[in-house]
Chains A and B, each alone.
Chain A
């Protein structure tokens, strides 16, 4: 037994790198707190309840989209189809519920249909990626444009007003002061946490990010895991589409513009590693809040809007630049 305790002692000695890792995991939280402190110091309005609600409202869509993207990035892949799925979901939703464009009125039945649609599009991305061995970046780039194209074809450049009270309620009705959509987003976070931590799929996604060949040798059905992850991500993007349509009160083909950038920023700023295997959905919550708080703060402080966009660009590069272990990464493509 003494030999074994000798082993555990050496293992304690060699823990330096995990400590650095833990620090890296908390760094985004520290950034978020510091950001809030600075903005609140410069403009006390930041901490009013009204502004907190505004921040939460702005964060709900990036959070939900980011949850889906997190699973993909954890595998070491990337999903660019966010806007495509979101747009298609929002447009078809607006056409199925009570609306100003046609006679449909499927009410809340439309929502599960939209989620299935999102799953289907995600499944398609996964299928193309895995079966045709197209890199995820390229497969989802194609699906992005197919989604937006399909939405355009359905609407022909028009916008459809949503009159369904239940959908509108997501943006308007409040529960404990926060819009229902924010609660829905928190529910999604809870679901994502369970999937990440308590299902085989969640484990296998981490394993793929840690080493895909190794995972295959260990008996993980790599292709199935990849397709499942893209399908799951599609569902989250579709929920993002429902929220976006509710917030705007209409569906049009431009509704997705700009969300991809915000989504990826939220994921990487939160600290999920682009090479896969490290990070998770809680990190994405922090990342989404950083992105939204920064934008909100810049508005409060009167920063011109074109500068705001530039700052977002800086933020994503800084986040990735700070988080990459340059010693280990020998080749970057």
Chain B
């Protein structure tokens, strides 16, 4: 156990947190010293967001202590955390678009401006003006938040966190949760400049996916993996490669991804993109997807890969270039058109976008294939149930029966139902959008096995994944995207898999 540092503004000591089925934080200890920017990095699921939620009072730790200015404290709620000097700047849009900047700054803290039951607007806007001065933002606090660009909104968030200076006793610690993900480079420079200038007033915890930014801004860096802090480094001793190795941890275990089952893909091209683009999201995208191929798309947040995925799912139609599916040029304006073209979307929010939770397993499996099951306007119930049973068997969905509600299935089995739905609908292309998010290791392996099995039947897969590890392990071909364009493409056949570091240099 690390002894808490004497001058720490904030310390977590041996904090532990479990959720059903997940050990989210394992004995985590970190210190934030006065006037310091602490970087916090880790892959998705490493426990960063759980940690942030504990610090912002949303979750309570199961074990361990939170020390604020050396004193043991409890953060009972977001408001309580704020009172104790912990402020937050979220990755995007935690301002109310329909309120003015001033109203946003003091929402929930208006009492100080109320005279005889009425709001003293002049006083509030005067105070707001002073807060904006702290971050050197020269906009009118009476402007509505939705009239600001993203960088200015981020500054307003920072100013909002700084209002705690007047309200909280003791040190101010500001959590910056992916604050740069919606900003452009010049805007990031401004934000970083402000953060550095504000170090005399507050300490910061900076969470980001962009390792170069973490190196640029932080004084010290904690690396998390699988719920534990695996390393603490002075920035001077760190570089991107080291950090990434620490984040990913284990060396590639090829059999985890069923590489021996990876069969070569066929010659037949199913999807072809040429010069594909969507304004402000991605541009000049060229690729060919063959039958039986898994095409992994790697990239950080903001690289455009998420939007590319959404385009193929019919959720964000492209506005330039060509997209050819099964030999026909298409523009997928709605999800229904994508389904008609044989594209099946397995979304990351499977509980919201992938399944109707209050319908049975059978109804979910046949949802997209109902047209084939309908005779004279009536659904052929017997055929529906036969199909459902067949897929439950083939994919080994663990369910009490085909009439069980999907609500009651585990995450891995829900994912199988989503896959069964598309296979029933005879989808030729599956878009796997973070297919193993939130699944435990065993369920992940089953999903990998399924992916191998369906590609052997000629189904093609476009994969965006939470981890680079998974992308490399599963894919035949990997595309790397950065700032909306493809920066690298590489073969990933078994035995010739690229190394993570080789891909990362094209990502950041």
Q: Could you list which residues of chain A lie within 8 angstroms of chain B, going by C-beta atoms?
A: 1, 3-8, 10-11, 13-15, 17-18, 194, 197-200, 202-204, 206-207, 209-211, 214-220, 277-278
A207 touching B117 by the CB < 8 A rule? Answer: no
Q: What 0/1 pattern do residues 166 to 199 of B give for CB contact below 8 A with A?
A: 0000000000000000000011011001000000
Report the separation of the CA atoms of residues A10 and B149 in the bound assembly, to the nearest whole angstrom: 7
A200/B119 in contact, CB under 8 A = yes
Contact residues of B: prevailing secondary structure? mixed
Closest 4 pairs (CB-CB, A-B): A219-B108, A210-B96, A219-B79, A277-B98
B94: chain A residues at CB < 8 Å are 214, 217
Of the candidates B79, B109, B110, B136, the one whose C-beta lies within 8 Å of that of A4 is: B136
Report B169 CB to chain A, min CB distance, Å.
Answer: 17
| Cα of A209 to Cα of B443 in the assembled complex, Å | 40
From 136 to 190 in chain B, residues with beta carbon under 8 angstroms from any chain A beta carbon are 136-139, 143-144, 146-149, 151-152, 155, 186-187, 189-190
For the complex, count residues of B whose C-beta is within 8 A of A.
37
Interface bits B127-141 vs A (CB < 8 Å: 1, else 0)? 000000000111100
Q: Could you say which of B99, B103, B136, B139 contacts A3, with CB atoms under 8 Å apart?
A: B136
Asked, given contacts A1-B136, A206-B99, A219-B78, whether A198 binds B148 with beta carbons under 8 Å apart, the answer is no
Closest to B315 in A: A330
Q: Are A211 and B78 in contact (CB under 8 A)?
A: no
List chain A residues, Cβ under 8 A from B97. Answer: 210, 277
* Chain B residues with CB under 8 A of A10: 149, 151-152
Task: Kindly list chain A residues whose C-beta atoms are within 8 Å of the C-beta of B117.
Answer: 199
A198 contacts across to B, CB distance below 8 A = 118-119, 121
Look across to chain B and name the residue whose beta carbon is closest to the beta carbon of A5: B138
Complex: A215 Cα to B99 Cα, angstroms: 12
Which residues does chain B contribute within 8 Å of A200, judged by CB atoms? 110-111, 114, 119
C-alpha spacing A181/B139, complex, angstroms: 45
Taking a contact as CB atoms under 8 Å apart, the answer to whether A207 and B146 are in contact is no
Chain B hits for A14, CB < 8 A = 147-149
Distance in Å from the Cβ of A224 to the closest Cβ of chain B?
Answer: 12
Please give, as numbers and ranges, the residues of chain A lying within 8 Å of B190 by CB-CB distance: 3-4, 6-7
A4 proximity list for chain B (CB < 8 A): 136-138, 190
Q: How far is the CB of A24 from chain B (nearest CB, A)?
A: 13
State the Cβ distance, A154 to closest chain B Cβ, in Å: 35
> Which chain B residues lie closer than 8 Å to A210 at the CB level?
96-99
Residue of A nearest to B190 (CB): A3
A220 CB contacts on chain B under 8 angstroms: 107-108
Q: Contact at A209–B119, with CB atoms within 8 Å? A: no
5 residue pairs of the A-B complex, CB under 8 angstroms, read A4-B138, A200-B111, A215-B96, A219-B82, A277-B96
Given contacts A4-B136, A11-B148, A277-B98, 12 further A-B contacts (CB under 8 A): A3-B136, A3-B189, A5-B138, A10-B149, A202-B119, A203-B99, A206-B96, A207-B99, A210-B97, A210-B98, A214-B94, A218-B107
Contacts of B193 on A, CB cut-off 8 Å? 3
B residues lining the A interface (CB < 8 Å):
78-79, 82, 94, 96-99, 103, 107-111, 114, 117-119, 121, 136-139, 143-144, 146-149, 151-152, 155, 186-187, 189-190, 193
Partner of A206, one of B98, B138, B146: B98
* Closest Cβ–Cβ distance, residue B155 to chain A (whole Å): 7
The distance in angstroms between the C-alpha atoms of A210 and B108, with both chains bound, is: 14
By beta carbon, the residue of chain B nearest A273 is B98
Say how far B440's CB is from chain A's closest CB, in angstroms: 28
Picked from B78, B82, B110, B148, the residue with its CB within 8 Å of the CB of A203 is: B110
Name which residue of chain A comes closest to B117, CB basis.
Answer: A199
Which A residues lie within 8 Å of B143 (CB)?
A: 11
Docked CA distance A18–B193 (Å): 29
Residues of the A chain whose Cβ atoms lie less than 8 Å from the Cβ of B121 = 198
Min CB gap B157→A, angstroms: 11
Query: In whole angstroms, what is the CA distance A206 to B117 when docked?
Result: 18
**Which of B108, B136, B190 has the most CB atoms of chain A within a 10 A radius of its CB?**
B108
Best-buried of B82, B119, B155 by chain A (most CB within 10 Å): B119
Bound Cα distance A38, B139 (Å): 43
Question: Chain B CB within 10 Å — which of A15, A194, A197, A204 has the most?
Answer: A15
CA–CA, A198 and B123, complex, Å: 12
State in angstroms the CA–CA spacing of A216 and B78 once bound together: 8
Pick the residue among B103, B109, B110, B149 that contacts A7 (CB under 8 A).
B149
Is there an interface contact between A11 and B147, defined as CB atoms closer than 8 Å?
A: yes
Q: Which residue of A lies closest to B79 (CB)?
A: A219
Q: Which residues of B contact A8 (CB under 8 A)?
A: 137-139, 152
Given A11-B139, A18-B146, A209:B107 Cβ within 8 A: no
Task: Tell me which residues across on chain B come within 8 A of A15, comparing CB atoms.
Answer: 147
Distance in angstroms between the alpha carbons of A15 and B145 in the assembled complex: 11
Please determine whether B96 and A211 come into contact, CB atoms closer than 8 angstroms: yes
Contact of A11 with B98 in the complex, beta carbons under 8 Å: no
Q: Is B136's CB under 8 angstroms from A17's CB? A: no
Inter-chain contacts of A194 with B (CB < 8 A): 118
Complex: chain A residue closest to B148, CB-CB: A11
Given the known A-B contacts A11-B148, A17-B146, A219-B108, are A199 and B119 also in contact in the complex, defined by CB atoms under 8 Å? yes
- Nearest chain B residue, comparing its CB with the CB of A19: B147
> Smallest CB-CB separation from A202: which chain B residue?
B119
How far is A7 from B152 in the complex, measured between Cα atoms in Å?
A: 6
* Inter-chain contact A11/B108, CB cutoff 8 Å: no
Residue of A1, A10, A211, A218 ringed by the most chain B CB atoms within 10 A: A218
In the complex, which residues of chain B have a beta carbon less than 8 angstroms from the beta carbon of A197? 119
What is the CA–CA distance of A132 and B155 in the complex, to the nearest angstrom?
A: 39
Select from chain A the residue with minimum beta-carbon distance to B110. A200
Whether B139 and A203, one on each chain, are in contact in the complex, defined by CB atoms closer than 8 angstroms, is: no
Question: Out of A18, A203, A219, A277, which one reaches B103, CB within 8 Å?
Answer: A203
A5 to chain B, nearest CB (A): 6
Residues of B within 8 A of A7 (CB): 137-139, 149, 151-152, 155, 187, 190
Please, which residue of chain B has its CB at the minimum distance from the CB of A200?
B110
Q: How far is the CB of B316 from chain A (nearest CB, A)?
A: 12
Q: Is the beta-carbon distance between A215 and B107 smaller than 8 angstroms? A: yes
- Please indicate the chain A residues that have their CB under 8 angstroms from the CB of B139 in the complex: 7-8, 11
- Quick check: A18 and B99 within 8 Å, CB to CB? no
Q: Given A7-B190, A209-B98, A220-B108, are A199 and B146 also a contact pair (CB < 8 Å)? A: no
Residues of A within 8 A of B155 (CB): 7
Give the Cβ gap from B69 to chain A, nearest Cβ, in Å: 22
A83 to B428, CA, bound (A): 56
Distance (Å) between the CB of A322 and the closest chain B CB? 19
Report the Cα distance A220→B29, complex, angstroms.
31
Task: Enumerate chain A residues within 8 angstroms of B96, measured Cβ to Cβ.
Answer: 206-207, 210-211, 214-215, 277
Report which residue of A6, A203, A209 has the largest number of chain B beta carbons within 10 angstroms of its beta carbon: A203
Which residue of chain A lies nearest to B121 when distances are taken between CB atoms in the complex?
A198
Q: Which residues of A contact B187 (CB under 8 A)?
A: 7
How near does chain B come to A227, taking the closest CB pair, in angstroms? 17
For the complex, give the distance between the alpha carbons of A206 and B99 in Å: 7
User: In this complex, which of B98, B111, B136, B155 has the most chain A Cβ atoms within 10 angstroms of its Cβ?
Assistant: B98
Is A207 a contact partner of B148 (Cβ separation < 8 A)?
no
Judge whether A18 and B144 touch: CB under 8 Å.
Answer: yes
Task: Give every chain B residue within 8 A of A17 (Cβ-Cβ).
Answer: 146
Q: Which residues of B contact A209 (CB under 8 A)?
A: 98
Q: In whole angstroms, what is the CA distance A257 to B476 when docked? A: 69
Q: Could you tell me if A11 and B152 are in contact, using CB atoms closer than 8 angstroms?
A: yes
Q: Is the CB of A203 within 8 A of B147?
A: no
Is the pair A203, B146 in contact by a Cβ cutoff of 8 Å? Answer: no
